[in-house]
Every structure is written in structure tokens, then in C-alpha cells.
Amino acid sequence: MNVAEETPMMKQYKKIKAQYEDAFLFYRLGDFYELFYDDAIKAAKELEITLTKRGNKNDQDIPMCGVPYHSAEQYIATLIEKGYKIAICEQVEDPKKAKGVVKREVIQLITPGTVMDGHVIDEKENNFIAALFPFEDGTATFVKADLTTGEMKGTMLSEDASEWEREIVRKEIKELIVPPSWENSFDEYAVVISTELATELQEEFMPLCDQLHHEKLKKGVALLTNYLKRTQKRVLDHLQPLEVYDVNELMQLDVHTRRNLELMETLRDKKKEGSLLWVLDETVTAMGARLLKSWLEAPLLDRKTIEKRHAIVASFVEHFFEREELREKLQDVYDLERLAGKTAYGNMNARDLVQLRTSLQTLPAFIQILEKIDNPHLLELIEKCGDFHELQTLLEKSIVDDPPVSITEGGMIRKGYHEQLDRYKEASANGKAWISQLEQKEREETGIKSLKVGYNKVFGYYIEVTKPNIRYLEKDRYERKQTLANAERFITPELKEKERLILEAEEESTNLEYELFLEIREEVKKYLRPLQETARVISEIDVLLSFATISERYDYVRPTFTTDRSLEIKNGRHPVVERMIGQGEYVANDMTLNHEREMLLITGPNMSGKSTYMRQTALLVIMAQIGSFVPATSAKLPIFDQIFTRIGAADDLASGESTFMVEMLETKRALTKATPNSLLLLDEIGRGTSTYDGMSLAQAIIEYIHDYTRAKTLFSTHYHELTALEETLDTLHNVHVKAVEEDGEIVFLHKVEEGKADRSYGIYVAKLAGLPERVVERANELLYQYESKEMDTVLEQTRKETVKEDAEQLPLFSWVEEEKRESEEDEREDIVNDIKKLDVLRLSPIEALEKLYTYQKKLQS
């Protein structure tokens, strides 16, 4: 299109749009937000709204669509949920005073990481926007902030890519800010990427780093705050000073471990129900629910802090009535973190102030109950709560109990709070009372019972008389104002005067209410930091109350910590499985690991509970290190620095990686990152390749962990041959999950016992799965043959049985078969001679397996 022929409005639109190429531009025109060109085409499809066209001077149609201003939130929410950004472009001058096109500017860029609307955000989840600033030495600083709560956290990341991935790939990270040169470096992660050029910390944000001595971390804070200031175009007073965390001071759970252990959601359905979070979440407040998630993702390593949490949980368990009172009080405590955020952000309404008032009114009684429990750690916590007596009094005097949502239409301020406002309201009320009396008076004087006094925004107040009753009116009694199909509307000078007084009073009253509301909100803003600190205390108490509630309900026990890396769990239970099948139904099992027993090789049938037994141990460790009690009759645990898992098999089809490759990559992470203080859960390693390949790898991995890593390890396998390793590896012990055969059927006992399993029962599992009976019968026949004869004899016999019928139909080729048999006999003789020459005592297990594998290949070729 020729720019010279564009309308002034479209020139303005294009100029603004050029600054926000990666966002939908919601361009305000009257009562609509309009979108043009590609924005319109894409938005019409995503929002399922009508796409229209607009002509211009060059007779070219411009695609366009629009959404009503008053209902734009729902459309914005839809686009945000799909990962888009929206630039809100508003008129910033009075159209009546404009010379030419009304001036417009983008007043806010709404992105997945900066959205503040409650319709988009899950109240029980954080909504973090993060900034990652890489350095030339391969390290990076990572800083994240939740605009809805103001919390900001940061850490330094090493050059290890898995550390970067662990921090970025979290469900609550909605957007990642990076320098422009790194824009395309994180395409593999399901997160919105944005860029920011400015990397110098601005003066207004320096207080956020007052206690920060790490210059590199300041770069991350600068990147994030500069982006927020540029896009949000408002004061960000509610951002809290950076809370620095060291990844080495928290238990490390990589993406695969969090997924495999189903901490937050289930593997199959991606739902909360069936996860560890589902079991532990009895929190009452939204802020408590958010804190529980953050604890679950980063269990503690500091024993003193963990034991403080355990002590508080123990007190809550012992004080049943106080605990229930506290949980009842929490029902009246709203989301103080997000209410504080709304105050600073400028989008708090009068209903939010009522929620804040209700919360503050509950606090004194809540603290009184906590003081009665008399736990020193609890007293230490509640000392951090702020004093809100004056703020509570202000809100009680100023805000009505049921205010409207809008803050510009009045109806928010209590009578008696402001003298002038009361006069306006009285004038308005008196005027309306006069008008109500006028209707009765006019009915009596005219004798027209259907006469009524009404009001609309166009004509104001009027007297309405139906046409059949017009004849009863005295001439010139009223001044005609409007004619309708079946009635006439009139006014009187006195009525117009009262209308003027009423409307003036209402307008003045509404304007004054708005000013008073803003003053009250500014007063609330002064309590921003105490509110945020109090919110942290209440959310922590909420989580610990949740732990106590769960512990008593499901008979959990307080764990203790050992210093010699030993682990001893008596009658441990899987918290999720127990909850699913019902208390008392789950078969509890012991677990013992110590310096003489570092590794357990777990054998047993499929479906017998090997994986559950392994996961159970990891979940109990995590529960203990976040401060929860655990499902067992007793539990003595070391503090683990990391947990690595390889459980289950899922192809990474998107990146073209096979099940076996994924298995090897996850195993590699465990072997290269684990320390003696780590816990490894390795399930069926090697099953993705041929039997001897898999067995060789499994043994090599076991030996490596035993000799070098020395981590506590649970290793399940179907390679029964590996159980012989117990004789050569000092700290490896065999255990198995018991199953018995009754009347030709397998019964899983789910009980873990010492020693190795005697068989795998795989065919019984196949039968349970419903395989055709003929398949099961044939499998049993072959199994009998494999167990009773030499491998080569079985293979030969099986081959003969399989091709017998075909051989009879092709007698002309019998000489080929004869020659082939002679060749195989020669090859077998060569193999026998090789075996005779082998020095078996000097062969390592791996070398022996390699030889066997080579011979097997030759025999099968």
C-alpha cells in the first residue's frame, strides 16, 4: 500500500504496531478494541470471532476484527492462555480537544508472565516471569518474579546445561527474558521467550539489591526489572528485595525425577489427583497452596530448618482442638500476597479492601491461638507479623460491607466517614424521596392511578401518562417532553430543578467517593512490606497445619535424621497408592540401607510392586526434607542432596530419541551428577535393547555405582543372572517382591523379602493382561523347553517345528538345508575350540558376557 494514501488513523496504527511486532495490538476505537491485518486474521481464528474488511483510499480491503471494550478481559485471557502477548493501546487525550487523530499510546503489554487478571491465573499457583543472563564463562544468573505477589528470587547457575533446564522447565515459569542474542536458544522449552536490551540496574530498583553482594546477580535483576518497567508502564513498588537461593543448598530434583515421581501431576493424565501434591495439600489459603508447591520442588538440606518444621507439625498434631480452630480461622484469611500486589499495582477495588479488612480482623484471634500452643518456633514465626490495628480501623470506618466491583460509580464509602460526601448523598436521597412523593401527589390530584414518574439517561426525570388518560389532564398542567406509541411524557419546572440537584449531587458524590477510595488505597500501600511478611508467615503455618492434618488422618510418623548415611524405614507405605486404595489395605515394607548395604538389587514379577517400593522410598525422603511426617511406623533417614530416577519408558518422539536413548541419557545424568549423598532409583535398565546388551549394560552400571559413585541405590531388574553380583560386590544385596502360585494362578503378595526371586512369572502377567489362550499355552511350552534344555538345542528344535510344513512343500531345496547344517556344525566346532582355550578365571564379568554374546550371534546367524 502507498503510505501517502493511508488514512491518518492507519498511519498511527502502523507506527504503534511497529513497536510491538510480537504482540496483538488492541487498538481502541470508541467502545471497541480493533485489530487489523495479520493480527486480525490470527485473532479471528484464535478467538473464533468474525473477520471483516475495511476499505481505504487505495480501494484495498484491510482485514479487521474487534472485541467490545467492556468484555475485552475474557478475550485477552484466551490469548494469554495460548501463549500470546497483547499490547493495550488507549486514547490518551480527550477526542473533543484533539486536533486531527486522537492521540493513542500503548499503556500496558500483557504477557503470560505479567498478567494480573484473576481469570487467567490459578490462585493456587505462582505466575513467574524469569530472566536469564548468560556470561562468557558459561555461567548464568537466573532471577524470577511473580508480579501478582511481588516475590522475587534469584540464583547463580553453573555452566551445566541441566541446571539451566531444571530452573527454566517449571510449570510456574510462564515467560523467560533473555538478551536478544539468546532469543532462539530455548526453543525446546515450552515457555514464552522475550528479549530486553537494557542491562544496567536503574536507581529505583537498587533497593531490591541492597543486601546483594554478587554483582552477576544484579545483571539478572536489571534485565528483569527493565523489561517490566518498559512493558507495564507503572510503579512496581510491591516487588520485594531479591531472595537469593543457592541450588547447592536445596535438594536437586531434575525434570525427569519430578516427572517420574509424580510430585505435582500424574504421568499419564497430567492431573493433580494421584500426585504427591494431591496427598499433602490440605492447605486452606491460596498462598499456602503456592508455598507447598515451592517446598515440594526444592526440599531442604539444612537439618536445623527441617527439624524446626517437624517440631511445629508435632505441636499441631498434639493440639487437635487448637489446630482445628486455626484451620477454621484461615477460612476468613484471603490471599494477602496478591491483595498486596493489587494495592501496589493499582488494580485493587473496594471488594479487595473488604477481603483485606476481613483478613486483618481475623489475625489477632489467629495469633492468640498460636500463642496458646507455646512452641518456641511458632512464637518466632508470629513475631514477624505486622501491626495492622490502625489500618483495620480505617477500613472498618470507610468501606461498606458489600461494595460494587467498579470504583468509579460510587456506593463504596460508609455513611459517617466523610461529612461532605454525606451531604451529597443526603441531597440525592432527599431529591429521590421528593420525586417518589411527587408521583403519589400527582396521582391524587389528577385522579389518574396509572400515572408514574420515571427516569432515563437521555431525558432525565419525566411524568408519564397513557394516551387514554390524557383527557383527564388540566390544560398546561405539564410541559410535553416526549411522545410514545401509547403514552405521553411530561416535565415540570420543579421536576427539572430537582433533577438538576439530584444529578449534581450524584455526580459530586461519585467523584468524591473515587477520590476518597484512592486515598484509602494509598494508605493501604504504606503497609505493603508488613502485609507481605505477614502473608509469608500465614502461608507457612497453613502448610505445616496441612502436614499435621494429613499426619494424624493417615497415621504418619515424625522422621529422624542420621549422620552416618544410614536409612532405616519400618513398615513404609507409598502415600499416594495408600490414599488411592484405602488406609489399611496397603502392604507396608521395610527398607534398610547403610555402609554395608549401599545398593539393593530388586527382583520379582511384573506388577508385583517393585517400582512402587522404589518410588515409596524417594517420596518418603522428599516428604521428610520438606518438613512433613512420613507414612511408616518409624523412619531414620540421612539427608539426601539429590534424587535421580530412571523409572518407566517414554519415547521422546519430538526430538527423535528412542526409548532406549532416553533411558541411557537419564542414566548418564544419574551416574555423572550423583554423589555419595544422593539417592538413585533405576528401574529395568537395559530392557530397551537385546538381552545380552541390556544385561551387560546393567551389570556395568551397577559396578560403576558400587565402585565409584557410592550413592544409595535401588536397582530393579528382570535379569536374574545379575543376582550373582551379590557374591562379588560387597555392598550390594538382593531383595525380591514375593509372589506365590496357587492353583495355577499367580498371587502378588507385594511383600519385599531378602534374597533373589526364583522366577519372573512373566507369562502369568501376560495371562492377566488377557493375551489369547493359545499364545499363553505356547509360551508355557517354550518356557519349559528353555528351562530344561540347552539353548542351541531349543533353537534348533523350535526352528524345525516352525518350518516343518514349509520344508515338506519344497523338497527341491533339501540340499541347501543339508549344506547349511554342515556349515553350522563346523562353526559350532570352532566355538567349542575357542571356549576350551579361554582362561575363564581371568575374564571380567563384562568380558565373559561379550564372549557369550558373540557366540550366540554366530549360532543364530
CATH number of 281-388+527-554: 1.10.1420.10
The answer on whether 611 is annotated among ligand-binding residues is yes
- pLDDT on residue 555: 95
Asked if the 128-249 domain carries CATH number 3.40.50.980, the reply is no
Identity of the amino acid at 363? L
pLDDT reading at 764 higher than 70: no
Instruction: Choose between 119 and 555: higher pLDDT.
Output: 555
How many helices (H) and strands (E) the chain has is answered by: 26, 27
Please state the separation of Cα 330 from the chain's center in Å: 23
Specify which residues 734 forms β-bridges with: 601
**Domain covering 3-110 assigned CATH 3.40.50.300 in the classification:** no
State the average pLDDT for the chain: 85
C-alpha count within 13 angstroms, C-beta hemisphere, residue 66: 14
C-alpha 69 chain-centroid distance: 31
**Which of 192-206, 427-441, 619-633, 669-683 has the highest average model confidence (pLDDT)?**
619-633
Give the DSSP letter string of 275-293.
SHHHHH---SSHHHHHHHH
Pick the CATH number of 419-521 from 3.90.1150.10, 2.30.40.10, 1.10.1420.10, 3.75.10.10: 1.10.1420.10
Query: Cell for 285?
Result: 489459603
pLDDT single digits (tens) 807-840:
444 444 343 445 555 566 666 777 777 776 666 5
> Span 102-119, mean pLDDT?
86
Model pLDDT for residues 277-296, shown as the tens digit of each residue: 999 999 999 999 999 999 99
According to the model, what pLDDT value does residue 606 have? 74
610 is known to lie in a ligand binding site:
yes
Is residue 605 within 8 A of residue 761, CB to CB? The reply is: yes
Q: Mean pLDDT throughout 792-797? A: 44
Is 606 known to sit in a ligand binding site? yes
Three-class SS state of 284: coil
Is the pLDDT assigned to residue 652 strictly greater than 70? no
Q: Does 858 have pLDDT greater than 90?
A: no
Q: What is the per-residue pLDDT for 345?
A: 79
Query: Known binder of ligand: residue 181?
Result: no
Q: Would you place residue 804 in the very low, low, confident or very high pLDDT band (cuts 50, 70, 90)?
A: very low
814 is in an annotated binding site: no
Is 45 known as a binding-site position?
Answer: no
Look at residue 455 and tell me whether its pLDDT is greater than 70: yes
Domain range summary for the chain, segments of one domain joined by +: 3-110, 128-249, 281-388+527-554, 419-521, 560-757, 789-860
C-alpha cell at 33: 478494541
- Identity at 675, one-letter amino acid code: T
Q: Is the pLDDT of residue 216 over 80?
A: yes
CA separation for the pair 654, 526 (Å, rounded): 51
Q: What was the pLDDT predicted at 689?
A: 63
For position 656, what pLDDT does the model report? 40
The arithmetic mean of pLDDT across residues 595-606, rounded, is: 90
How many CB atoms within 10 Å of residue 136? 5
Where does 560-757 sit in CATH, by number? 3.40.50.300
In this predicted structure, which of 96-110, 381-395, 819-833 has the lowest mean pLDDT? 819-833
pLDDT tens-digit map of 229-270: 998 888 888 888 988 888 888 998 988 899 889 999 988 888
User: Grid cell 534344555 — which residue?
Assistant: 789
Q: Is the pLDDT of residue 791 over 50?
A: no
State how far the Cα of 651 lies from the Cα of 649, in Å rounded to an integer: 7
Long-range contacts of 728-732 (CB under 8 A, 24+ apart): 728/845, 729/599, 729/702, 729/703, 730/596, 730/706, 731/595, 731/596, 731/597, 731/598, 731/599, 731/706, 732/598, 732/599, 732/600, 732/601, 732/702, 732/706
Q: What CA–CA distance (Å, rounded) separates 42 from 683?
A: 46
d(CA 719, CA 701): 13
Q: Does the annotation flag 112 for ligand binding?
A: no
Name the pLDDT band for 390 (thresholds 50, 70, 90).
very high
Q: Which three cell numbers stand for residue 342?
A: 493489587
Residue predicted with more confidence, 839 or 555:
555
Q: pLDDT for 22-79, tens place per residue?
A: 899 999 998 899 999 999 999 999 999 999 987 665 557 889 999 998 888 889 989 9
- Closest CA relative to residue 605, chosen from 739, 714, 715, 723: 739
> H or E stretch including 176?
strand 173-178
693 vs 493, higher pLDDT:
493
pLDDT for residue 803: 43
- Asked if 281-388+527-554 and 419-521 have one fold, the answer is yes
